[in-house]
């Protein structure tokens, strides 16, 4: 099993290209099931989750092709993938595939909308909490689907097609909004989704669906209106830049010091996180090329943050901020309100010398003068990269184990950091 070895103490200077957003690419790929024409996606990151989803879509009969190298393209830039579901040959998504990636459950929406039936394995729990699919099922039932749970599978039927409806999610859910959007595009009549997620990835999906012929208004607000159409066609779409990757590298620069341009990043996608970094004493500026992050000798100030749905501070940057605050001046308070059990990185950060006290949904991080390298183990995607951030500033060597989590969400992480001066390498086997 691969590990990553990091020797801390090096400033980061240079340029880091920001990849396409995984959390946008996955629902966009799933949307290919809604049409028998070709959906061409550009700037798709090279990630383990993308490869797995291609396997899942192939199981349903989706043909795909990945474009060859283009002039100026490197392993750190996105790829182009063409997807075509001319004929859906199987409406079942089996447990052995869905269990490896929760987002694959979302195939239930286009399968049901286009074919009138779907049998999709329930994804089960995960390391950062149960994250149930009850709100996704609720949305489909509001649209007229009949859904039974049988042997660990959600068995959905809508033999006469889905019907438009008006409903409100009891709490904001990105997955539920993705599912409702995709299902409503082919439903008979008008659908109104209240308390919808406002995340940029939801907007990106809506924009792609509109290119395919969907009639959607209000994406990016808490009220989305979808007028169903008889069929959708093909389209060409560029995946938006990854705001979580942007925030992660911004915190890495803040942790180590230095001056880095995050090339292609868009500040409006993560303004709340950038505001937090500015409050911590980091110099953030927008340029025509992206976002420039600088910290040269200034103290990292302690901050108080609560995770919230967009446009608030994202839960997917909570672990990274905690790593940064281990070197903050004073005590920071970080509240996690989105997912339970998302403080599992605390024990591993403590191995590096961090002082963190947990109290319910809050973590109190007392800044320390120094961190010291140690062997650590990743528990999930965001926790693993928080250990990388801490290791970049720790004295001596840190060995991060179980880095397959990183491969699920960060494209070419070692090469991006090493090009900017980090001493980091992957050790295979």
- Give the chain's largest Cα–Cα span: 65
Number of Cβ within a 10 Å radius of residue 350: 14
Gap between the Cα atoms of 171 and 154, Å rounded: 22
Task: Give Cα 94 to chain centroid, integer Å.
Answer: 23
Q: Is 4 in contact with 370 (CB distance < 8 Å)?
A: no
Are 372 and 420 members of one domain? yes
pLDDT value, residue 78: 84
Pick the closest to residue 104 from 59, 40, 45 (CA basis): 59
Encode pLDDT of 80-137 as tens digits: 999 999 999 999 999 999 988 889 999 999 999 999 999 999 985 444 344 578 999 9
Burial 310-348 (b: 16+ CB within 10 A, else e): beebbbbbbbbbbbbbbbbeeebebbbbbbeebbebbeb
Active site residue 92: no
DSSP of 364-388: EEE--S--B--EEE--SHHHHHHHH
Are 120 and 224 members of one domain? yes
Are 260 and 271 members of one domain? yes
* Annotated binding residues: 22-23, 102, 131-135, 316, 338
Average pLDDT over the chain, rounded to an integer: 94
Are 205 and 299 members of one domain? no
Among 222, 238, 254, residue at a domain's last position: 238
pLDDT band, residue 75 (cuts 50/70/90): low
In the predicted structure, residue 408 carries a pLDDT above the cut 90? no
Gap between the Cα atoms of 357 and 355, Å rounded: 7
pLDDT value, residue 127: 44
Gap between the Cα atoms of 292 and 250, Å rounded: 9
In the predicted structure, residue 424 carries a pLDDT above the cut 50? yes
Task: Give Cα 199 to chain centroid, integer Å.
Answer: 11
pLDDT value, residue 321: 98
Among 238, 271, 290, residue at a domain's last position: 238
Are 214 and 274 members of one domain? no
Are 145 and 31 members of one domain? yes
- Label the pairing between strands 79-84 and 362-366: unpaired
Task: Give Cα 101 to chain centroid, integer Å.
Answer: 12
Phi (first) and psi of residue 366, to 5 degrees:
-95, 120
Encode pLDDT of 317-346 as tens digits: 999 999 999 999 999 999 999 877 778 899
pLDDT value, residue 137: 95
Are 399 and 381 members of one domain? yes
Q: Is 132 in contact with 344 (CB distance < 8 Å)?
A: no
* Annotated binding residues for UDP-N-acetyl-alpha-D-glucosamine: 102, 131-135, 316, 338
Are 249 and 172 members of one domain? no
Domain hosting 141: range is: 22-238
* Annotated binding residues for phosphoenolpyruvate: 22-23
Number of Cβ within a 10 Å radius of residue 28: 27
> Can you read off the two tokens belonging to residue 175?
């997955």
Q: What is the DSSP letter of 53?
A: H
Distances (CA, A) of 418 to 12, 16, 392, 405, 424: 9, 10, 11, 19, 6
Among 214, 238, 262, residue at a domain's last position: 238
Which helix (H) or strand (E) segment holds residue 68: the answer is: none
Are 40 and 99 members of one domain? yes
Q: For residue 408, is the peptide bond before it cis, meaning its omega torsion is within 30 degrees of 0?
A: no
Burial 406-424 (b: 16+ CB within 10 A, else e): bbbbbbbbbebbbbbbbeb
Which helix (H) or strand (E) segment holds residue 25: the answer is: helix 22-30
Are 260 and 231 members of one domain? no
HSE on the CB side for 166, CA within 13 Å? 2
Are 326 and 208 members of one domain? no
Q: Which residues contact 410 (CB under 8 A, 6 or more apart)?
A: 47, 245, 248, 385
Encode pLDDT of 335-382 as tens digits: 999 877 778 899 999 999 999 999 999 999 999 999 999 999 988 877
Are 115 and 185 members of one domain? yes
DSSP of 183-244: HHHTSBSEEEEES----HHHHHHHHHHHHTT-EEE-BTBSEEEEE--S----EEEEPPB-HH
What mean pLDDT do residues 19-24 have?
96
CATH number at residue 38: 3.65.10.10
β-strand partners of 423: 7
Phi (first) and psi of residue 41, to 5 degrees:
-110, 135
Gap between the Cα atoms of 307 and 337, Å rounded: 6
In the predicted structure, residue 313 carries a pLDDT above the cut 60? yes
Gap between the Cα atoms of 427 and 413, Å rounded: 14
Number of domains in the chain: 2
Q: Choosing from 92, 126, 208, 420, which is the catalytic residue?
A: 126
Helices (H), 134-189: 134-142, 174-185
């Amino acid at each position: 099993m691969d590990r990553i070895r990091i020797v801390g103490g090096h400033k980061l200077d240079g340029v880091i290209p920001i990849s396409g957003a995984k959390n946008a690419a996955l629902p966009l790929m799933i949307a290919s099931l809604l049409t028998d024409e070709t959906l061409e996606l550009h700037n798709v990151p090279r990630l383990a989750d993308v490869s797995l989803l291609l396997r899942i879509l192939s199981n349903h009969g989706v043909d795909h092709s990945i474009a060859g190298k283009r002039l100026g393209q490197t392993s750190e830039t996105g790829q182009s993938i063409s997807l075509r579901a001319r004929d859906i040959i199987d409406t079942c998504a089996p447990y052995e595939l869905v269990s490896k990636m929760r987002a694959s459950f979302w195939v239930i929406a286009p399968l049901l909308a286009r074919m009138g039936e779907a049998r999709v394995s329930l994804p089960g729990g995960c390391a950062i909490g149960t994250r149930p699919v009850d709100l996704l099922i609720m949305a489909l039932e509001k649209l007229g689907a009949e859904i039974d749970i049988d042997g660990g599978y959600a068995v959905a039927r809508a033999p006469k097609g889905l019907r438009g409806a008006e409903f409100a999610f009891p709490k904001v859910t990105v997955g539920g909004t993705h599912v409702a959007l995709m299902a409503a595009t082919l439903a008979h009549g008008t659908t109104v989704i209240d308390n919808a997620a406002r995340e940029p990835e939801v907007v990106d999906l809506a924009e792609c669906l509109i290119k395919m012929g969907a009639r959607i208004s209000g994406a990016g607000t808490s009220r989305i209106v979808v007028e169903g159409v008889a069929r959708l066609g093909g389209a060409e779409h560029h995946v938006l830049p990854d705001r979580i990757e942007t925030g992660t590298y911004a915190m890495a620069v803040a942790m180590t010091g230095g001056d880095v341009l995050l090339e292609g990043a868009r500040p409006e996608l993560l303004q709340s996180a950038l505001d937090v970094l500015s409050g911590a004493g980091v110099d953030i500026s927008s340029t025509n090329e992206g976002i420039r992050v600088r910290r040269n000798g200034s103290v990292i100030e302690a901050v108080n943050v609560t995770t919230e749905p967009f446009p608030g501070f994202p839960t997917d940057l909570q672990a990274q901020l905690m790593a940064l605050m281990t070197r903050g001046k004073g005590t920071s308070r970080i509240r996690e309100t989105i997912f339970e059990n998302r403080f599992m990185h605390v024990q591993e950060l403590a191995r590096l010398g961090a002082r963190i006290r947990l109290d319910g949904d809050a973590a109190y991080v007392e800044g320390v003068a120094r961190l010291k390298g140690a062997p650590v183990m990743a528990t999930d995607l965001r926790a693993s990269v928080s250990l990388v951030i801490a290791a970049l500033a720790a004295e001596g060597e840190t060995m991060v184990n179980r880095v397959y989590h990183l491969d699920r969400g960060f494209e070419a992480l070692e090469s991006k950091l090493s090009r900017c001066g980090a001493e980091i390498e992957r050790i295979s086997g």
